[in-house]
Structure 1
Amino acid sequence: MTKTIATLQTHPLVAQLEAVQVDHPFSELGYVETAQGPVIRAWYPHAVSVWVLSLEGQHSQQMQCVDYRGLFELSSAQDFVDGYQLRVEYSQDTWQGIDPYAFKQNVYQGLEQLDKSPKSWYQVLGAQLMSFSLADHPISGVRFVVYAPNASSVSVIGDFNFWDGRRHPMERCLDGHWILFVPDLKAGIRYKYELKDRFGAQLAHKADPVGFYAEQYPSFASVVWDHNHYQWHDQNWQDREVDSLHQPMSIYEVHIGSWKRKHNSFGWASLSYRELADELISYVKKMGYTHIELMPIAEYPFDGSWGYQPVGLFAPTSRYGTPDDFKYFIDCAHQAGIAVIIDWVVAHFPADSHGLARFDGTPLYEYEDPRRGWHKDWNSYIYDFGRETVRRFLISSALIWFDYYHVDGIRVDAVASMLYWDYSREEGEWIPNINGGNENYEAISLLKWLNEEVYREFPKAITVAEESTAFAGVSRPTYTGGLGFGFKWNMGWMHDSLEYMAQDPLFRKYHHDEITFSMVYNYDENFVLPLSHDEVVHGKGSLLGKMPGDEWQQVANLRAYTAFMYAHPGKKLNFMGNEIAQVSEWNHDGSIDWDILQYERHHGQYLLTQRLNHLYREQPALYEADYEHQGFHWIDYGDWERSIIAFERLSLDGSDRLLCVCNFTPSTYENYRIGVPEAGTYQVILNTDDQQYWGSGYLSLSCFESQNKPWHNRAHSISLSLPPLACLYLKVVEV
């Protein structure tokens, strides 16, 4: 090994390279035109010698050390104008490969698309496995592109350069992006970005905002991933006909980390994506659900946030496996005939130093004024929904889940907090819009654009809004002035019905409107009826715990309420544990209390939920016309004295009919008459008081003959025996 370092030999460029203050390394490194002619310049701190080799390795020349800190030059660069590689010799190691700064023109490929399509952001930005031609030789590696317009310098650091920001400074593009192609890198390499703000102060090392995979604490490093590696097997699913408004949708909401746990040598651990593909999907299929909704799956740093404080909107969390493992989970769900919805959180983001907060030393992603950019309830930043780059970044993050991961839908969290400047703020803590109002026009515009892009790119997709106010047109098309969502959570139904069920049955008659009012506004939106995780945390107790009465009455109330929900217009969502009448409040650090299924009252709720799901899918009257007036008729909503309601559900063409009668008191009623739409024999197809569900078994008859006796403005009627705290479904079997 020839030692070429001259003591105290210096070069004016090195001070900038050493301090990582170079923003245009393409002008200084690699093949460079100088006043003395072309040179090849290489920067390798701590190197003993550097050689330039032809691409075939047959011709080589040693470079001169022009600065003892690691700057080398070769003056006879014209011999390697068509391409070259380097051999770098250290005191105890040697590296040989293609110089990243040999690629200066063709690496910009695709950047022009960033202003044309949000979809291009995840296709162009981040760490992309690519191949570029050098003297007709295809060279594979990773191109890094990151947006940081206010940084004075950016370097990519990682396993490949000892996490040394001096080694790979990136080139600043005119539009604020920084770019560098590093040859020979492969999937699995860890990396981050080292940025300096506009004043030259170094910031915390940042994870890639468009990273596809990330490590957990303490490194939070981004990881290069190959999205072309996974082979999908869900083509039949992708080719199916989809009409979400008129098809059954029974959603099982799941927190992956606490659905079920396994015991290993380190204690109790969550199941992996692949383990869930076996256990969760088979369970959901057996239970009859049509959809799984996953609480936020995008990468997040803190377990206690349940994923609602994400830092990596383009990466499934690595807590449970790799991106390919997550794809396998989705693939298996589709092969089992189950759709997957994910929670997508863009209302805010956490202040973790490795994330988006003051990414380039400025509020690049967040509103600068804390009266708009800081959410005090969640101690998190709020995206600047009016900034074009942020808007494209967010919409791109939604599209990638449909494109690369084949999810079927996204549920947008905390939409109300996005729509209003004064959400959870006191007077003086917010800034009105240009018209003096509280609507955030920028967020409204973003949500409209989001839905237009999703449905344009993926027509079979669904979008769902968790929106808790009376904002008009959430699930109406944008061309009519709506936000464009496919569905909206019916928070009013959830709140009112749970308030009603929490009342002692003796006093429910004074709250009768709480169980009937939802039909007044039912057709304003395409509603999903949610009994979500929000109702079983933060001291609210379990769903079972909200029900009044003794042990038997509690589960009877829950059974009746569950059946009422399935008969009420709107798609259904149930959080895990509700289906077995979980006793304890949900704990994200634990698991569902599966062992309680050994007890009859919990097994009864399990069987009832399973029966309801299958019945729901079998009866078009229960799902086809959720959003059309002809799909629902009140039979009697006015019997407040006895807390009884009766209504009829119909399919779109009216050929399939189902009657629902609910008795929300522990009293039994003999000869209770209700009007029916036609003469015939009415069969009970569901009775929540059945003994198999741990009911009393009060109802001894399964069929009731109609009588030619007008009742409830109908020409025919039947006389029922109503069980206590029960819901009945009836269908005509003979006319």
Structure 2
Amino acid sequence: MRYERTDLMTGTVQEGLQALVDGRHGDPFSILGRHQYGELIVVRALLPGALTVEVIEAETGKVLAELEPIHEGGLFAGLTGSMAPYRFRIHWPDAVQEMEDPYSFGMLLGDLDLHLIGQGTHYDLGRTLGAIPVEQDGVQGVRFAVWAPNARRVSVVGDFCAWDGRRYPMRLRPQAGIWELFIPRLTHGERYKFEIIDAHGNLLPQKADPVARASEAAPSTASIIASSKPFRWSDEEWMRAKRADRSGEAAISVYEVHLGSWIRVPEEDNRSLDWVELSQRLVPYVKELGFTHIEMLPIMEHPFGGSWGYQPLGLFAPTGRYGTPEDFAYFIDRCHAAGIGVILDWVPAHFPTDVWGLANFDGTALYEHADPREGFHKDWNTLIYNLGRNEVKGFLIASALEWLEHYHVDALRVDAVASMLYRDYSRDAGEWIPNKYGGRENLESVEFFKHLNSIVHERCPHAFTVAEESTAWPGVTKPPEEGGLGFDFKWNMGWMHDTLHYIEDDPIYRKYHHGGMTFGMVYAYSERFMLPISHDEVVHGKGSLFGKMPGDHWQKMANLRAYFGFMWGHPGKKLLFMGCELGQETEWNHDGSIVWDLLDQPDHAGVQRLIGDLNKLYVQEPALQFSDLHPEGFEWAVSDDAENCVYGMLRSAQDRSSAMLIASNMTPVPREGYRMGVPFEGRWEVVLNTDAGIYGGGNLGQSEAWTEPHPAHGRASSILLTLPPLATVFLRWRA
């Protein structure tokens, strides 16, 4: 066949030229770039706004051809007699630019990558999809890739192309529904999104990258090309130690924090601290108070600050509110240097409906269920992930691994697990679809959790997972091979509700609700529990923890100290939300800050000191750790004295070499000469008394007690105690 010059430049592709120029062509590589027809070679480029375009040889800079405009929409073409690598010299109205032709590069992702993505088992999506700075055929640039199987056309847009969707249309890899494009000479720091035309030809709102590793801070919504340069970690010893010990036996005491409202800077428009400042102020504070872990409300990028991060859209990107991804890694590194683990709240249950996010991503319900009976949370006005789809499961698991592997995070606390486990969660009859067996259990979620936890434990031996699960679903913390979901710990929501209900009562009525403080031990070892006093208990009109306490100011403070003592004495890992540690009198305000001025008052400073001493005692005493998970390390000394509102908990070390008696008096009446039976004879030393003067108490009590041969509470020996009003006392016995 004989080709004419005009045929090569326009005629053989004429039918697609208008679609290309209009930004609606689904296969730009079939027209753009270099194409050979027999002995002739044509190069085409779509550069709207360009004045002239030259093709130059990459190695020598020799001009191979000057492209001619063949369409007023910015399409250029020309013949060149060379197959050597080339680049363009583009003359714009105000600048001259040289760059390689994005349409001169071959396929980018390998077949194995595409296969694993389709199977939902590609666990390194953060370094495969999204925007990845790479070298391609010896050229530095950025590889873009996005999952949008039902789109007609997808383009990369950004500042580098004036957000013009015609400039950088992508190539579809149909076997996986992945669109890809390499843009030469781009580098990290550039803003970008994806422009998508759906299967019906509709132009969708520009979409942020679902796998972006950096994002603009709200209210801006663009994704940012993140650097691929590895962070220089200095926590090798920490990671090695955590990998070596995965038992969960050691003390875990968690300081839960909403970073944006921990401390604000009123002199600078009430701004929050950034990651570097938090490493300098939050980390030493948590270390000083003896907490073993910091748990942060979700720091994944989220559009609405009022959601506290629980409606995220950037599951791979630390929010830009506090700095760069590198700054976030630095914060983690500083935590580990201080001996503090990091737990992130992570939300795989649902996502917000913002049009630039995941919703209707390629014009179809891609990440969410199409049927609102499965795909819409009416409580939160959010969309529910379709866990029956392999790619969605893989996306979420890869997100979890991004934080644990690439950022060295120590644990994920998985939010809203109950809402995922039940198809009828917060739905009336007719508003939900039963599973294939006709039941209410969400079988896809069950399988997802088993898979998630198995992969996390296999690939991240340093890490653990925590479920926020508020029902009696069995086996949340049992291994998948034993029929469980595989979490390491579960929040004990029942304990939290029961004990808070009790402590809110006026002491005169507490004897009628005595079981509220003991019932938790009936099921304490059915799961591996964490005792949470979280942000949810001090917001939305619930008042502060201090405010829940009955009585005058003195009684409120004493109640609070006694409750903290009971909590730290009770089996289970501990979690406390910021502000509670100093007896904040007002409920949490995410737009404000902790009321740090309270520390000028001795009784509030005393509560803070008490928390520090409780943590230090917990970390130091094997007797307070072993029975967190082992029932043989716990027994009641007194559980049935409702009339006096007295409780006694006995906790012992694994080898029985030491024991701790935790005695609580939940009335404002001192109990002098209270005889309590104990299993071990000898000296019992008072090591902590929440009524001590250093904590703001009345300083009533004793320093020690010796066993006497007087039977009490079913034991042959007993000790006489002075129990201060509204107080908890810790006594240590050693063999």
Question: Of 126, 131, 136, which residue of structure 1 is paired with 2:130?
Answer: 126
Among 467, 481, 490, which residue is 1:465 paired with? 467
Specify whether residues 107 and 86 from structure 1 end up closer, same or farther in structure 2 by C-alpha distance, changes over 3 A only: farther
- Name the CA distance, whole Å, in 1 between partners of 2:334 and 2:260: 19
Task: Decide which moves more: 187-196 or 98-107.
Answer: 98-107
Q: Report the counterpart of residue 3 of structure 2 in structure 1.
A: none
Give 5+ residue unaligned stretches, structure 2.
1-5
After the TM superposition, which residues 499-518 of structure 1 pair with which residues of structure 2 at under 5 Å, given as runs? 499-518=501-520
The code of the aligned residue for 2:68 comes to: Q
Matching residue of 2:66: 62
Say whether 1:45 aligns with 2:36. no
CA distance in 1, matches of 2:231, 2:685: 50
Residue by residue over 1:71-91, the C-alpha shift from the partner in whole angstroms, topping out at 9 and shown as x without a partner, is 222223x41x13110111123
CA distance in 1, matches of 2:171, 2:290: 54
Asked whether the 8 Å contact 2:133–2:228 carries over to 1, the reply is no
1:243 is the counterpart of 2:281: no
C-alpha distance after superposition, 1:173-204 (max 9, x if no partner): 11211000001111101100000111111000
1:336 aligned partner: 338
AA at the equivalent of 1:712: H
Query: Deviations along 1:73-117, whole A, 9 cap, x unmatched?
Result: 2223x41x1311011112332211100011023555744443463
In 2: Cα distance, 1:719 partner to 1:107 partner: 74
Rounded Cα–Cα distance in structure 2 between residues aligned with 1:211 and 1:508: 53
Q: Do 1:604 and 1:692's aligned partners in 2 also have CA atoms closer than 8 Å?
A: yes
Is the CA contact (8 Å cut-off) linking 2:190 and 2:224 kept in structure 1? yes
Task: Provide the residue aligned with 2:30 in structure 1.
Answer: 27
Give the partner amino acid of 1:191.
Y
Amino acid at match of 1:26: F
Q: Which amino acid aligns with 1:156?
A: V
CA distance, structure 1, for counterparts of residue 400 and residue 594 of structure 2: 30
Matched residues in 1 for 2:115 and 2:390: separation? 15
| CA distance in 2 between partners of 1:69 and 1:370 (Å) | 42
Closer/same/farther in 2, CA of residues 632 and 199 from structure 1, 3 Å limit: same
The answer to whether 1:562 aligns with 2:564 is yes
Q: Are the aligned partners of 2:246 and 2:461 in contact in 1 as well (CA < 8 Å)?
A: no
| Superposed displacement of residue 69, structure 1 | 2.4
| CA-to-aligned-CA distance 1:547-583 (integer Å, 9 cap, x gap) | 1111111110110100100010000000001100000
Provide the residue aligned with 1:173 in structure 2: 173
In structure 1, give the amino acid aligned to 2:146: V
Quick one: distance in 2 between partners of 1:219 and 1:276? 23
Partner residue in 1 for 2:139 = 139
How far 1:430 moved relative to its partner?
Answer: 0.9
Deviates most, 327-336 or 101-110: 101-110
Number of aligned residues: 720
Task: Specify which of 628, 631, 634 is matched with residue 632 of structure 1.
Answer: 634
C-alpha deviation, 1:236, in angstroms: 1.1
Q: Whole-Å Cα distance in 2 between the matches of residues 643 and 263 of structure 1?
A: 45
In the alignment, does 2:723 pair up with 1:722?
Answer: yes
State the Cα distance separating 1:502 from its structure 2 match.
0.7
Give the equivalent residue in structure 2 for 1:150: 150
State the alpha-carbon separation in 2 of the partners of residues 438 and 598 from structure 1: 53
Q: CA deviation at 1:402?
A: 0.8
Q: Which residue of 1 aligns with 2:204?
A: 203
Which residue of 678, 694, 697 corresponds with 1:695? 697
- Give the match for residue 259 of structure 2: 256
Q: Which residue in the other structure is 1:92 paired with?
A: 94
Counterparts of 1:34 and 1:520, CA distance in 2: 81
In the aligned structure 2, how far is the partner of 1:224 from the partner of 1:599?
Answer: 48
Compared CA separation, residues 227 and 263, structure 1 to 2 (3 A): farther
In structure 2, the residue matched to 1:524 is 526
Determine if contact 2:219/2:303 at 8 Å carries over to the other structure. Answer: no
State TM-score, norm by structure 2.
0.96
Q: What SS class does the counterpart of residue 582 from structure 1 fall into?
A: coil
Correspondence 1:533 to 2:535: yes
Aligned mates of 2:235, 2:216 — CA distance in 1? 28
Give the whole-Å Cα distance in 2 for the aligned partners of 1:531 and 1:611. 18
Q: Are residues 1:623 and 2:625 paired?
A: yes
Matches within 5 A, 1:187-226: 187-226=188-227
Q: Does 1:389 align with 2:387?
A: no
Runs of 4+ residues over 6 Å off in structure 1? none
Give the whole-Å Cα distance in 2 for the aligned partners of 1:221 and 1:357.
16
Partner Cα separation in structure 2 for residue 667 and residue 47 of structure 1: 86
Correspondence for 2:318 among 316, 319, 324: 316
Distance apart, 1:712 and its partner CA: 2.0
Cα offset, 1:13, TM superposition: 3.1
Partner of 1:542: 544
Instruction: Summarize the Cα distance change of 1:184–1:705 in structure 2 as closer, same or farther, 3 Å threshold.
Output: same
Match of 2:673 in 1: 671
Q: What is the identity percentage for the equivalent residue pairs of Structure 1 and Structure 2? A: 49
CA distance in 1, matches of 2:557, 2:521: 26
* Structure 1: runs of 5 or more not aligned: none
TM-score (structure 1 length as normaliser): 0.96
CA RMSD of the aligned region, Å?
A: 1.6
- Whether the aligned pair in 2 keeps the contact of 1:375 and 1:381 (CA below 8 Å) is yes
